[in-house]
């Protein structure tokens, strides 16, 4: 198939690539300021121009599904070249990328600072606190970007970033609120890519849906929920290999297509949540606070109990798997001071924690409920509302 691209007509190419090699390619292309697609096209042309015996043999065992786009006609030519040289297309592509990386050296300082896709896990063990509202609104604000502040603070502008919302909650509220259908049982989804990797035939990117591309300039997308997600915890129990990395493995092929991934996590303490927390851990040489957990809470006592359970689970995952999981902040959601002492006292308690900080206080107003009713993004339906302003505040605090 072909698709329009800024570089002209290109063909979508489905292949496989070792995860480590894919990450090296992504890092090197970013360091050189080269689009990933252009880097792969250069790699293929460079490989074709080299003698066959000068290309290294790459270990492609465990290679995972990966998509790229090549100029029209180059795929067929490259595939024929691989056949002539007696190697598979997967091996040929891996060789080409390895050669390109090795021939495009950058300084050791730059190599030590890989550029990761930011991962924001919106979670709490208590249902009804508005996780979906905060995940959706934060993602929308990141995709739209922020203008420079003209006030006394004179804050800089923040560009709109390619943002993927992931509905990881089997209830599918995020998917429904944005007017998208859940993925039917048995079809390829995030769940199948987590637990049935040997059986999936397509790319998870094929399931991604653009959200109001005219309004968000093509920068906001959604990976819908699946009805199969209700069985995810039990199915994770039978996964071969480390279960905690299952979400990371499934989403890794999507990371090169997005600057930020926002996860609307399920309200439970199971294996799926362990995998979600692990996905947000700080990776090697990633800046502290770039990725981690964002926790919506309410100004009432039961929300504090739920947060204590989540904090315990974060600590357990961190210790069990020897990773750092940054707490990006708390969002006090659905706040209504008319509820009196309980609400105001609870807010004071949240703010007194200090770490993680309260990054925003979102009032309980009608605009969000109306946006859900008409199945539109809040920042599109009511862009000047107080709730929309709070979403932009969260974006600013997380920048």
Label residue 114 by pLDDT band (50, 70, 90): low
Do residues 309 and 352 lie in contact, with contact meaning Cβ atoms separated by under 8 Å?
A: no
Same domain, 182 and 46: no
Boundary (domain end) residue, out of 111, 137, 155: 111
- Poorest-pLDDT segment among 122-126, 195-199, 322-326: 195-199
Residue 356 CB coordination number (10 Å): 19
- For residues 279 and 307, state if they share a domain: yes
Whether 345 and 240 share a structural domain: yes
Distances 261 to 33, 117, 308 between C-alpha atoms, Å:
21, 7, 25
Question: Is pLDDT at 161 greater than 80 in this prediction?
Answer: yes
Q: Are 391 and 140 in contact (CB under 8 A)?
A: yes
List, as own/partner pairs, every contact residues 318-325 make where C-beta atoms lie below 8 angstroms and the sequence separation is at least 24, other chains included.
318/281, 320/244, 321/244, 321/278, 321/281, 323/278, 323/281, 323/282, 324/281, 324/282, 324/288, 325/277, 325/278, 325/280, 325/281, 325/282, 325/292, 325/293
Q: In terms of domains, do 221 and 344 share one?
A: yes
Q: Which residue has the tokens 């653009």?
A: 210
Q: How far apart are CA 310 and CA 274, in angstroms?
A: 11
Of 86, 111, 136, the position where a domain reaches its end is: 111
Residues 188 and 266 in one domain: yes
DSSP label at 151? S
Answer yes or no: do 199 and 319 share one domain.
yes
Same-domain pairing of 257 and 226:
yes
Phi/psi at 159 (5° precision): -70, 155
Structure tokens at 364: 């309980």
What tens digit of pLDDT does each residue of 38-75 get?
A: 899 999 999 999 998 899 999 988 788 888 888 989 99
Q: How many structural domains is the chain composed of?
A: 2
More confident residue, 152 or 85: 85
The three-state DSSP-derived secondary structure of 225-286 is CEHHHHHHHHHHCCCCCCHHHHHHHHHHHHHCCCCEEEEECCCCCCHHHHHHHHHCCCCCCC
Do 129 and 97 lie in one domain? The reply is no
In this structure, are residues 343 and 350 in contact, taking their beta carbons and an 8 Å threshold? no
Is the same domain home to 392 and 301?
yes
Share of residues in the chain with pLDDT > 90 (%): 55
Q: Which domain holds residue 44?
A: 2-111
267 and 158, same domain (yes or no): yes
Nearest to 268 by CA among 304, 303, 319, 233: 233
In 3D space, the residue among 158, 117, 140, 263 whose CA is nearest the CA of residue 213 turns out to be 140
How is residue 130 written in tokens?
A: 């508005």
Per the CB < 8 A criterion, the answer to whether 297 and 334 are in contact is: no
Which of 81, 96, 111 is the C-terminal boundary of a domain?
111
We report the CATH number of the domain holding residue 337 as 3.40.50.300
SS3 299: coil
Residue 263 backbone dihedrals phi, psi, to 5 degrees? -105, 125
Same structural domain for residues 168 and 74? no
CB-based contact 56:129 (threshold 8 Å)? no
Residues 65 and 159 in one domain: no
b/e map of 125-150 (b: 16 or more CB within 10 Å)? bbeebbbbbbbbbbbbbbbbbbeeee
Model confidence over 321-366: pLDDT tens digits? Answer: 999 999 999 999 988 777 777 788 888 888 888 889 999 999 988 9
């Amino acid at each position: 198939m072909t698709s329009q691209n800024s570089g002209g007509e290109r063909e979508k190419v489905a292949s496989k690539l070792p995860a480590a090699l894919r990450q090296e390619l992504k890092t090197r292309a970013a360091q050189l300021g080269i689009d990933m697609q252009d880097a792969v096209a250069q790699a293929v042309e460079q490989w074709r121009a080299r003698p066959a015996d000068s290309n290294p043999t790459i270990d492609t065992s465990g290679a995972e599904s990966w998509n790229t786009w090549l100029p029209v006609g180059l795929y067929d030519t490259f595939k024929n070249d691989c056949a002539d040289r007696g190697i598979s297309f997967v091996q040929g592509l891996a060789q080409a990328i390895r050669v390109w990386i090795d021939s495009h050296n950058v300084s050791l300082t730059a190599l030590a600072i890989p550029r990761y896709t930011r991962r924001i896990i919106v979670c709490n063990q208590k249902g009804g606190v508005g996780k979906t509202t905060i995940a959706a609104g934060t993602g929308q604000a990141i995709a739209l970007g922020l203008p420079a502040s003209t006030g006394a603070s004179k804050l800089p502008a923040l560009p709109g970033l390619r943002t993927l919302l992931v509905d990881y909650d089997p209830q599918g509220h995020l998917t429904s609120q944005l007017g998208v259908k859940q993925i039917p049982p048995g079809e390829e989804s995030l769940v199948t890519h987590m637990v049935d990797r040997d059986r999936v035939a397509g790319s998870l990117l094929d399931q991604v849906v653009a959200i109001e591309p005219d309004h968000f300039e093509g920068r906001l997308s959604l990976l819908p929920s699946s009805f199969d997600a209700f069985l995810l915890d039990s199915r994770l129990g039978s996964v071969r290999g480390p279960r905690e990395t299952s979400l990371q493995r499934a989403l890794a092929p999507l990371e090169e297509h997005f600057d930020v991934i926002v996860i609307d996590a399920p309200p439970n303490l199971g294996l799926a949540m362990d995998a979600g927390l692990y996905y947000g851990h700080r990776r090697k040489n990633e800046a502290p606070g770039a990725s981690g957990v964002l926790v919506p809470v309410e100004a009432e006592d039961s929300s504090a109990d739920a947060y204590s359970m989540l904090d315990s689970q974060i600590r357990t995952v961190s210790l069990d798997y020897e990773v750092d999981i940054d707490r990006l902040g708390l969002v006090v959601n659905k706040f209504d001071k008319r509820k009196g002492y309980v609400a105001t006292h609870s807010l004071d308690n949240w703010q007194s924690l200090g770490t993680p900080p309260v990054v925003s206080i979102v009032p309980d107003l009608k605009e969000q409920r109306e946006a859900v009713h008409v199945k539109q993004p809040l920042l599109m339906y009511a862009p000047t509302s107080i709730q929309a302003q709070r979403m932009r505040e969260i974006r600013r605090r997380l920048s």
